[in-house]
Structure 1
Amino acid sequence: MDNNQLFVEYYKEWVSIYKEGAIRPITLSKYKMAISWLEKLVPNLKICDLDRISYQKLINDYAKYHERQTTMDFHHQIKGSILDAVDEGLISKDPTRKAIIKGKTPSEKKPKYLNQFELHNLLTSLNLKDSVNWDWFILLVAKTGMRFSEALALTPEDFDFSKQVVSINKTWDYKGQGGFLPTKNKSSVRKVQLDWKTVMQFSQLVKDLPSDEPIFVKSNDKIYNSTVNGVLFRLCKKADIPTISIHGLRHTHASLLLYAGVSIASVARRLGHASMTTTQKTYLHIIQELENQDVDIVMRSLANLS
């Protein structure tokens, strides 16, 4: 290895050797996006010139275009290659040490989830025809909390109507060429319990469909996340409720379960999270709100003891 090599060329090689084939395509695309930003921001930076000041300047320049969390992700994607360069003796000291992560002012956030009343209004406005349409897809995601790619990959044989469960064991490659892919992680392989009404509805909907073919994807059709989000956007407008994304339905599902008193462990399993920590981080604001309610209950209970 040559420490006079351009850092962007070193990073390209590092991604090729250590990341390609080892991580999911969607994650790999983020590393390749980082390459594009290195080409834009530091095209002439050599490894031998990479120190704390030059690295901080790179992070600062990236932060001009991105919010803090996105800048943090970029930092972590780059940092791995730099630590390897330190191990290889190309850089004498870790230039990422004590890096300050900045970011532009966050844009106004759209609502991430609906409350129970709003979800009820959405579901009652669905046009659930006798044949498959995106309204059925929206209903199923709202009732199960599954990911977009997981719902696209469902086939009729994934349903066990007698036991009232649906098995999630694959995803659909909607960002690539189509076809089945593995789930996000091992924890994502799971069985999700269905309510009796959803069981009755879907048992009729899929009874004449090929058992091993996707319910919501027709052969050779290219599916875009934006298409389904557009359907949901129009439905939200029609129901006069906040507009959310399909992923927002997953958040809605989880938040309603937490507010109903379902344990974090059960919610984590139902969502297919790798650990409860992910669930706790994602829904921290709800958990804190519920804890505050618990404190009130405890104090009232203690007061009644006297």
Structure 2
Amino acid sequence: MAVYPYQLIKENPMQYVTMPKYNDLKNTPDNLKIITLDEFRRIIKRFPEKSNFYIPLQIAFNTGMRAAEVCGLTWDCVNLKNKTIKVQKIIIKEKREWVFGSPKTKSSYRTILIGNTLVNILKHHKKCQIENKLKYGEYYTNNNFVCTKENGKLVTTDSFKYLSRVINYELQINFCFHSLRHTHATMMLEAGANIKDIQHRLGHSKLSTTMDTYSHVTNKLTQASVDLFESIISLK
């Protein structure tokens, strides 16, 4: 599904940039740009309910979905009764148009359970979309996307660049949209969630990917387990 055209530049400015190998990037909280719950609340205060970014922010924070998965989410993949979201497609830019694409890997196709907080947010958002459709009439872009502007136009991943700039420079929070994915996983792990469940929610094909990416958390949990054992034997 195409959305609207964009102008392209003739040369790629990243052509001569050498990207570091994955192994050169340490999985520390700073590199992963993990935010705190208080920082997320500050972000939502800056981009509240009527903002174009409110719904994408809430979905990513509550599910750990990738940016392209969030923007590609359609209502037929959301079951508010069963509290699930199916990740079956993404949006990508081909030439000057936004089109549907396939998720990153086979394991990226997944069904994510969601809590009441996100369910209630999405219920209200769906109601607002219906009201906006009546408000704008023929000028409303009628589609099945979840993440839309007030006039129905799709919120794309390109717009997250502006979002990140505001959060970094205005709110002084070290942030990129992918931060929400890392934050979701980190908070769940620290709360005691099963690592296999996290792997499924994130759509990682290998458990080792999840373990390596969040080693800073798993190492802390390992120490906590040792401390727990020590507390048990000290009572004997």
TM-score by length of 1: 0.58
| Structure 2 counterpart of 1:229, from 151, 161, 174 | 161
Distance 1:276 1:154 in 2: 25
Gaps of 5+ in 2: 1-11, 25-29, 134-140
The answer for the alignment partner of 1:42 in structure 2 is none
Indicate yes or no: 2:119 matched with 1:199.
yes
Distance 2:167 2:33 in 1: 16
The answer for the alignment partner of 1:154 in structure 2 is 73
Indicate yes or no: 2:199 matched with 1:268.
yes
Q: Deviations 1:52-95 (Å, cap 9, x if unpaired)?
A: xxxxxxxxxxxxx746526x7xxxxxxxxxxxxxxxxxxxxxxx
Q: How many residues align?
A: 204
Question: 8 Å contact 2:110–2:203 — kept in the other structure?
Answer: yes
Indicate yes or no: 2:84 matched with 1:183.
no
**Counterpart of 1:174 in 2: which secondary structure?**
strand
Distance 1:277 1:191 in 2: 21
The 1:246–1:276 alpha-carbon spacing in structure 2 relative to 1, beyond 3 Å, is: same
**Counterpart of 1:215 in 2: which secondary structure?**
coil
Deviation, 1:237, is: 5.2
Question: 8 Å contact 2:189–2:217 — kept in the other structure?
Answer: yes
Deviation, 1:301, is: 0.8
Distance 2:148 2:105 in 1: 23
Question: 8 Å contact 2:52–2:155 — kept in the other structure?
Answer: no
Question: 8 Å contact 2:84–2:111 — kept in the other structure?
Answer: yes
1:166 is matched by which residue type in structure 2?
Answer: I
Deviation, 1:195, is: 1.4
Question: 8 Å contact 2:91–2:98 — kept in the other structure?
Answer: yes
| Structure 2 counterpart of 1:289, from 203, 214, 220 | 220
Distance 1:178 1:172 in 2: 6
The answer for the alignment partner of 1:300 in structure 2 is 231
How does 1:40-59 map onto structure 2 within 5 Å? none
| Structure 1 counterpart of 2:61, from 137, 142, 147 | 142
Percent of aligned pairs with the same amino acid:
22
Deviation, 1:184, is: 1.0
Deviation, 1:121, is: 3.5
TM-score by length of 2: 0.74
The answer for the alignment partner of 2:146 in structure 1 is 215
Q: Deviations 1:12-49 (Å, cap 9, x if unpaired)?
A: xxxxxxxxxxxxxxxxxxxxx9xx76xxxxxxxxxxxx
The 1:221–1:194 alpha-carbon spacing in structure 2 relative to 1, beyond 3 Å, is: closer
2:64 is matched by which residue type in structure 1?
Answer: G
Distance 1:276 1:191 in 2: 17
The 1:223–1:122 alpha-carbon spacing in structure 2 relative to 1, beyond 3 Å, is: closer
2:233 is matched by which residue type in structure 1?
Answer: L
Indicate yes or no: 2:49 matched with 1:128.
yes
Q: Deviations 1:245-265 (Å, cap 9, x if unpaired)?
A: 001110001000000000110
Deviation, 1:159, is: 1.0
The answer for the alignment partner of 1:249 in structure 2 is 180
Over the aligned positions, Cα root-mean-square deviation in angstroms equals 3.0
- In terms of Rg, which structure is larger? 1
Distance 1:163 1:273 in 2: 23
Q: Compare relative contact order (CA 8 Å, sep 6+) and give the higher one, 1 or 2.
A: 2
The 1:212–1:272 alpha-carbon spacing in structure 2 relative to 1, beyond 3 Å, is: farther
Question: 8 Å contact 1:137–1:216 — kept in the other structure?
Answer: yes
